[in-house]
Structures are given as C-alpha cells and as structure tokens.
Amino acid sequence: MSEKMLKFVKIGQQTPPKRSVENRSQDFNEIYKEFINNKATEQSSRCSQCGVPFCQVHCPLQNNIPDWLKLTAEGRLKDAYELAQSTNNMPEVCGRICPQDRLCEGNCVIEQSGHGTVTIGSVEKYITDTAWEKGWVKPIDIKKEKNQSVAIIGAGPAGLACAEELRKSGYKISIYDRYDRPGGLLIYGIPNFKLEKFVVERRTKLLKDSGIKFIQNFEVGKNASLNELKKKHDAILIATGVYKARNIDIEGSDLKNIFPAMDFLTASNRKGLGDKVKLFDDGTLNAENKKIVVVGGGDTAMDCVRTAIRQKAKSVKCLYRRDKENMPGSAREVGNAIEEGVEFLWLSSPNKFNGNQKVQSVEVQKMELGEPDSSGRRKPVKIENEIYKLEADMVIKALGFDPENIPKLFNVEELSVSKWGTIKINLKTMETNLPGVFAAGDIVRGASLVVWAIRDGRDAAKEIEKYLRAIQSQKGQAA
Ligand SMILES: Cc1cc2nc3c(=O)[nH]c(=O)nc-3n(C[C@H](O)[C@H](O)[C@H](O)COP(=O)(O)OP(=O)(O)OC[C@H]3O[C@@H](n4cnc5c(N)ncnc54)[C@H](O)[C@@H]3O)c2cc1C
Ligand code: SF4
C-alpha cells in the first residue's frame, strides 16, 4: 500500500471552495472554484483503498475510483486521466453534476466512520479538466474505417457515449438530432451554474473531430421516418430522452404565465449561449422583478428556482407536496438553493391558480404525510381546511417528464413500449422488438441521470457491435 494513502485520519474533508452567495447569484457561472493541484492530491490521499470499494460498486459506470485517487495522490495525473476516461465518456461532466451524495460518495466507507467522504466528484472533475488543459484529450484516430454505418437518434449523453464507443471500433456514425446544437439536456436543460456550456461544446467538437457526423435540426418522424433511416444504415439507436412535461390539472391551469420548466430553462440556456429568444427578450420568460412560484421538488425544480434567482426575481418560492427529507432532488442542490435565497414551502400543493387572463396567485393546500404508497414513500394527504394564498406573477411547472409517443411519431406502430410509454428493450441485448433497432437512456429508463445515460450508451454500443459483426459474417457466408 502506498504511503501516500489512508490520510483520512489526519487530513479533513475539503471540497473546492464555493463562490459566495452574493457573488454567484449575480451570474450563471459554475459555483465551485477549481481545486488547486496540491488540494486535489491531498484530498485523494484520504482514500482508504478498501478491498471492496463500495464507491465503485455504486457508480453506475463502475469507475475505478480507488485507483485513480491513488494515481492522483502520487501526482500521476495523466495516468489517472487515462484510467478515468477508460470507463466514462465524459468524466468532467459527471464530476460536476452526478448526485454523488446518492452514488459514489454516498457509499464511501470513511464517511460511514464519521470522517467525511472522499470528494470523489471534485477529483474526477479536476483530473479531466487538467487533461483538457494539457492537451491529453485527443480525437479518435481511426486506422481503418469499417463499411457499416449506425444512425443514432438523439445527441444527448446516451447517444454521444454510444457514438464514441462505436467510432472507436471504426464504424461510420451519423447522429440525428432535432435541436440546433448537440448535447441534449446537457446543453438546453441543465443550467450553466451546474455545467458551463463550453464543457459540453468541447466534448461534442472532439466527437466531430473524430469523424462522427452530426445532423442537427433533423427530427425523426418529421424529416424522415424510422424505416427511411433503416434503409440508409445497418443499425439504429433510439436515444431521444423524455420531453413530455407532466401537467397540473387544476382550475386556472390555462391562465397565462404558467410555463413548463423546459420552456423556462431552454430560454435561459439559449440566452447564455448568445441566441435571440423572442419570448425571453419581450419579458415573457424572464423572471426579472417577478414573484416566481415553482411547483416540484426534483432536480429540474431546483434548476428553475436557482435560474429565477439569477434572473433577479422579486421572490422565488418552491412548492413541494412532501417534506424536505423526501425531496427527490439532490440534497446538495436543495442546500445551494436555500443558501441563494429560495423559500421552500414543504408539504404544500397547488389547489387552484387565480387570475384574470394572467396568473396572479396560487391557492395552496397544506399536506401531511400518510401511509406509504406502492413505492414505499409516505403518501401526501390533504389537511382539511388548511389552505393559503401565494401571490405569483409567473408559475413554473417542474413535475417531471414522460416519454413522447415514439411509435406514432416515428411512424412505426409495431415498436413495443411499456405502459409508461418508455421503449421496451431486451435487457441483455438492448435491442427493441424491431431487429437492428436498439434504445438507450431516458427513453428506456424514464427520466434518470446523465451517468446512467452514459452507461446505457456504452452497453448499447457493445451490443450493436455484436449485431453488426453477426450480420457482416452472415453476408460473408452468403457471398
Ligand atoms: C433540468 C434538468 C436538470 C437535470 N439535472 C441533472 C443533474 O444535475 N445530474 C444528472 O445526472 N442528471 C440530470 N438531469 C437528467 C439528465 O439530463 C438526463 O437523464 C440525461 O440527459 C438523459 O440523457 P439522454 O441521452 O437519454 O437524453 P437527452 O439528454 O434528453 O437527449 C435526447 C436528445 O434526443 C433529441 N431528440 C428527441 N426526439 C428526437 C427526434 N424525434 N428526432 C431527433 N432527435 C430527437 C433531443 O433533441 C435531445 O438532444 C437533469 C434533467 C433536467 C431536465
Ligand atoms: S461517474 Fe458519478 S457516480 Fe461515478 S465516480 Fe463519477 S461522480 Fe461518482
């Protein structure tokens, strides 16, 4: 065992410093400052190098965390980067936005013994950002391109990870996406203060430089049917994510200034990228000087409340029907939102929106937690006659997302979907019921996490490669 490790008894936990609330609320830049080199080395050396590393077990990518921490502690950053990137197509993204408290860090053994977890995510980010700075991250160099091609529908993390893995094996890859920029929710959903857009753009540029073709502003179902793409390519991956916003079906839902979260976040992200956005520029989707009420308690709701703070809203309130302990959003992001001045109204659910054409207030029903439901979580139930009113100039609905009707949109009614509308796959082969058509990411799992989308994309790439080899060898035998 290296003498450089097991320092958790002597060295306390330190995350990279956060920018002050006053400072970070004024802009959309990331809120964590960089680790400096000796801090990353020092913090890595706290790892206890467990025989069974629970951090690795609980990372969806099974990243070899103890080994890259050890290499970092030894100052071997290039080796640490090589190891980190061998299991993860975008470690700098995961280091920034994985809910580590529920994954790797949440299972760190030294945390269980009261020493405070190793700051795995920050080290992962540090290693990869350094690799980019030093020029260690290089496009894929194909020795001999294969003659088979794969169409990937969706340039989110699932599609991008699958594309990269298949390109490494020499296949021709075309990614079709209905947005004008690649990245999926990394570019238009997740705000800059969690993930600055240059991080996404340099990744997608690297894939372009690796010979992957990006066809933007191309909506499958509108610009081509799935069957038309099948004729042009040897295999297809559907990685379209989930975008149908869940609605609130109460009186007044059709009033003006009640928006789905993605409308609000996309407008804000586009402004950050320098685009003209009519509905933002005319004030409709800008929270400035308004009383904002966000409904929901997940990551999307946290991103909305914190975006509204940065747009200089008059007040920002978040309504959630369960309590703080039962919020689905990352505890770290809830904490950041509270620090930044968001007011949380737990055990509160909207009952009615009031207003004359435009929303003016929300009637709120107080809730309490009852018996556990089928998911095991305690069900929120109304408290009779406990209703109050909140003034609102804009309401943002962040209640989650469902899949769009893919069989109908893609004009392939025979494509099997689950009762929730997610695409059904064979879990071993990632193939749908249509031969040569695979699926990955949120469109299979339902709304999930970036790290799971990457994992799915990588798994799909392995299975697509097996499929392509099999059809190639069948053709060879037939010839
Ligand atoms: C606001 C918000 C914040 C989040 N924050 C976090 C976080 O902090 N950490 C985390 O781990 N996860 C977070 N997530 C979840 C995470 O972003 C998703 O789980 C992940 O992006 C899913 O990846 P994907 O590739 O399956 O789909 P997506 O990222 O949704 O990409 C799908 C792509 O498919 C394209 N597409 C869709 N339909 C078509 C079509 N018909 N034709 C062509 N292209 C099409 C879309 O344009 C899009 O580019 C957040 C999600 C949201 C909404
Ligand atoms: S990918 Fe996510 S879960 Fe895995 S080590 Fe990195 S931060 Fe932790």
Q: Express each pLDDT in 292-316 by its tens digit.
A: 999 999 999 999 999 999 999 999 9
Coil, helix or strand for 187? helix
| 94-116: pLDDT as tens digits | 999 999 988 999 888 877 777 78
Q: Kindly state the tokens that stand for 163.
A: 């594309």
| Distance in Å, CA 93 to ligand 2 centroid | 10
- Out of 42-56, 175-189, 256-270, 331-345, which region has the weakest mean confidence (pLDDT)? 42-56
Using a 6 Å CB cutoff, which residues line ligand 2?
A: 59, 61, 63, 65, 88, 94-95, 98, 100, 103-104, 120-121, 124, 451
Q: Which of 28, 96, 190 to mutate to test the pocket of ligand 1 (most atoms within 8 A of CB)?
A: 190
Which domains are assigned to the chain? 7-134 (1.10.1060.10), 149-242+403-478 (3.50.50.60), 247-400 (3.50.50.60)
Q: Which of 94, 185, 188, 193 to mutate to test the pocket of ligand 1 (most atoms within 8 A of CB)?
A: 185
User: In a 10 Å sphere around its CB, with 0-12 CB exposed, 13-18 middle and 19+ buried, how is residue 240 labelled?
Assistant: buried
Q: Is the CB of 272 under 6 A from ligand 1?
A: no
Q: What is the mean pLDDT of the chain?
A: 93
Rg, Å, the chain Cα set: 23
Which ligand is the nearest neighbour of the Cα of 262?
Answer: 1
Closest by CA to 97, choosing from 3, 193, 12, is: 193
pLDDT tops 80 at residue 92: yes
Q: What is the pLDDT of residue 37?
A: 67
> What percent of the chain lies above the pLDDT cut of 90?
81
Q: How far is CA 38 from CA 35, 45, 263, 398, in A?
A: 8, 11, 42, 41
Q: 406, 241 in Cβ contact below 8 A? A: no
Distance CA 385, CA 329 (A): 29
| Distance in Å, CA 85 to ligand 2 centroid | 12
If phi > 0 it is left, if psi is from -120 to 50 it is alpha, else beta; for residue 220 that is beta
Q: Kindly state the tokens that stand for 427.
A: 């879990």
The residue ranking higher by pLDDT, 132 or 373, is 132
Distance CA 271, CA 269 (A): 5
DSSP state of 111: H
**259, β-bridge pairs:** 396
Q: Is the CB of 350 under 6 A from ligand 1?
A: no
**Amino acid letter, residue 315:** S
Confidence of residue 187 (pLDDT cuts 50, 70, 90): very high
| Distance in Å, CA 121 to ligand 2 centroid | 6
| Distance in Å, CA 242 to ligand 1 centroid | 7
Which H or E run includes 378? strand 378-391
Q: What is the pLDDT of residue 35?
A: 66
Q: How far is CA 462 from CA 81, 138, 163, 169, 465, in A?
A: 23, 22, 11, 10, 5
Residue 159 CA: nearest ligand 1 atom is: 25
Q: What is the pLDDT of residue 278?
A: 97
Q: Is the CB of 163 under 6 A from ligand 1?
A: no
| 246-286: pLDDT as tens digits | 999 999 999 999 999 999 999 999 999 999 999 999 999 99
Confidence of residue 17 (pLDDT cuts 50, 70, 90): confident
Task: Using alpha carbons only, give the angle 128, 457, 92 rounded to the nearest 5 degrees.
Answer: 15
Q: 287, 257 in Cβ contact below 8 A? A: no
Please state the pTM of the whole predicted model: 0.95
| 115-143: pLDDT as tens digits | 788 899 999 999 999 999 999 999 999 98
> What percent of the chain lies above the pLDDT cut of 70?
98
